[in-house]
């Protein structure tokens, strides 16, 4: 460590800020490691970070201490810590010279029982789960085209602006009914229940977003209040919970029909994308038009084929009838006596009777003989039986 030197102005020594911070950091580095007890809040860990961050809070006085720890060392402990847990942390004080910020550089962490709030929440969570308030089968689907979206949010909340902007950009015709209430502090739970009831009673609202931006574990406690959780579970319209950051899990998330990781995600869940709808409608219109054209073309071709068949049918019928007549005529000619006469035979008649035997004719009687061409009138001179 470089020597900390002061600038002399008359009878006084003046240290530059960087020199002062460097000197304090040097003195802190000489202190031994100590154990500190408190509740974990604002735990932040990311695979892309080399350091984990958390705030250690004294539950009695509310005093806080910023803590940093190597992510690899933190992961190696495998504690799975969550906000609200009470821990013992070993380490030493450090000063971030560039900003003069005091931090506690942790070397190890040990769980020391659950914090009072976390323990109470765990008990409440088990009770409500046993009643079926968190059951998957009671979750309701969100309406595809809501008449109006109810938005429960804090006054001047950034989350409200994000949701309104996202809904308006995604689906400009959307109607948003906003109910502002306190979302932090002792009176927040009662206000949330009252606002949620009012939104659900609105005749046009058919889906409600319960939103709040990020905050500490204590800041989000109203959304784990039993009254709020039961009100969300009993809400007559579907509820989307968009409370805190993605890693936060207040009990309202478990009771809601859908949990959104961010306010923007909640907006995407409750309203359709206008541009996508227009594109889908245009695509459907094109497909419908193409289908109608295909049907019209097919029917026209079928009508044309039917017309050709109808025009040809009389001729075909006439040809079939003519062929039948010709065939019948042929058969009749074959069976006709005239056909027999044409083969050299003759028909002999005595009066009106046809002679079938020579003995039927009398000598001297007139016999008419019909030939294939013409006839003969004869008289019998001799009969040979």
What would you report as the CA-atom Rg of the chain, rounded to the nearest whole angstrom?
A: 53
pLDDT digits (tens, 9 = 90+) for 195-236: 999 999 999 999 999 988 877 777 788 898 999 999 999 999
Q: Residue 122's pLDDT is what? A: 81
Please answer whether residues 33 and 25 qualify as being in contact, where contact means their C-beta atoms are separated by less than 8 angstroms.
no
The residue-averaged pLDDT of 15-31 equals 86
Residue with tokens 């892309």: 48
- Edge-to-edge strand order for the sheet containing 366-370? 353-354, 347-350, 366-370, 375-379
Length in residues, the chain: 385
Closest C-alpha among 154, 139, 155 to residue 240 = 139
The arithmetic mean of pLDDT across residues 113-133, rounded, is: 79
pLDDT at position 271, please?
Answer: 92
pTM of the model: 0.51
Question: Which run of H or E residues covers position 283?
Answer: helix 274-335
Token pair, residue 193, equals 């229940």
Q: At what angle do helices 116-130 and 226-234 cross, to 10 degrees?
A: 30
Model confidence at 247, in pLDDT bands (50, 70, 90)? confident
CA–CA separation, 55 and 101 (whole Å):
14
List b or e across 211-240, with b for residues whose CB sees 16 or more CB atoms inside 10 angstroms.
bbbbbbbbbbbbbbbeebbbbbbebebbbb
User: Which has the closest alpha carbon to 82: 205, 202, 216, 206?
Assistant: 216
Sorted by where each starts, the structural domains of the chain and their CATH numbers stand as 7-114 (2.40.50.140), 120-275 (3.40.50.261), 326-385 (no CATH)
Q: How confident is the model at residue 356 (pLDDT cuts 50, 70, 90)?
A: confident
Structure tokens at 235: 């809400």
274 touches 170 (CB < 8 A): yes
DSSP state of 364: T
Closest CA relative to residue 147, chosen from 110, 183, 176, 187: 176
Kindly state the DSSP code that residue 142 receives in the 8-state scheme: P
Specify the higher pLDDT residue, 43 or 358. Answer: 43
Whether residue 359 has pLDDT greater than 70: yes
> pLDDT digit string (tens) for 144-200?
889 999 999 987 667 788 888 889 888 988 899 999 888 887 788 999 999 999 999
Q: How many CA atoms lie within 13 A of 382 on its CB side?
A: 1
Question: Both tokens of residue 242?
Answer: 């968009």
- Give the count of alpha carbons within 13 A of 383, CB side only: 15
Residue with tokens 């309406």: 143
- How many of the other CB atoms lie within 10 Å of CB of 259? 20
- Does the CA dihedral 345-351-352-357 come out positive or negative? negative
The pLDDT of residue 50: 93
Closest CA to 46 of 74, 7, 13: 74
User: Of 59, 58, 60, 61, which is closest to residue 104 (Cα–Cα)?
Assistant: 58
């Amino acid at each position: 460590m470089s020597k900390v030197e002061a600038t002399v102005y008359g009878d006084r020594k003046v240290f530059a800020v960087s020199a002062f911070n460097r000197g304090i950091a040097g003195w802190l580095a000489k202190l031994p490691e100590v154990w500190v007890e408190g509740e974990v809040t604002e735990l932040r860990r990311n695979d892309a970070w080399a350091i984990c961050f958390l705030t250690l809070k004294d539950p009695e006085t509310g005093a806080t201490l910023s803590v940093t720890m190597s992510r690899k060392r933190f992961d190696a402990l495998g504690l799975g810590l969550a906000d609200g847990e009470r821990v013992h942390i070993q380490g030493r004080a450090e000063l971030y010279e560039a900003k003069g910020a005091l931090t506690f550089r942790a070397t190890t962490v040990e769980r020391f029982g659950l914090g009072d709030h976390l323990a109470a929440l765990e008990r409440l969570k088990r009770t409500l789960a046993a009643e079926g308030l968190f059951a998957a089968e009671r979750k309701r689907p969100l309406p595809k085209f809501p008449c109006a979206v109810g938005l429960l949010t804090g006054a001047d909340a950034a989350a409200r602006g994000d949701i309104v902007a996202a809904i308006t950009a995604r689906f400009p015709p959307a109607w948003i009914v906003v109910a502002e209430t306190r979302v932090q502090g002792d009176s927040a739970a009662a206000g949330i229940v009252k606002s949620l009831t009012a939104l659900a009673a609105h005749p046009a609202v058919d889906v409600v977003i319960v939103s709040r931006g990020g905050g500490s574990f204590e800041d989000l406690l109203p959304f784990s209040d039993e009254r709020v959780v039961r009100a969300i579970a009993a809400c007559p319209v579907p509820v989307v919970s968009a409370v805190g950051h993605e890693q936060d899990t207040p009990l309202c998330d478990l009771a809601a029909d859908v949990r959104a990781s961010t306010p923007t995600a909640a907006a995407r869940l409750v309203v359709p994308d206008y541009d996508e709808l227009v594109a889908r409608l245009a695509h459907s219109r094109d497909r419908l038009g193409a289908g109608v054209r295909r049907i019209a073309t097919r029917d026209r071709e079928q009508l044309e084929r039917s017309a050709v068949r109808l025009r040809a049918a009389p001729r075909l019928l006439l040809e079939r009838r003519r062929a039948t007549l010709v065939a019948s005529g042929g058969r009749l000619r074959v069976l006709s006596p005239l056909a027999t006469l044409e083969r050299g035979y003759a028909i002999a008649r005595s009066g009106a009777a046809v002679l079938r035997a020579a003995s039927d004719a009398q000598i001297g009687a007139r016999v008419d003989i019909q030939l294939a061409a013409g006839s003969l009138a004869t008289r019998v001179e001799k009969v040979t039986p």
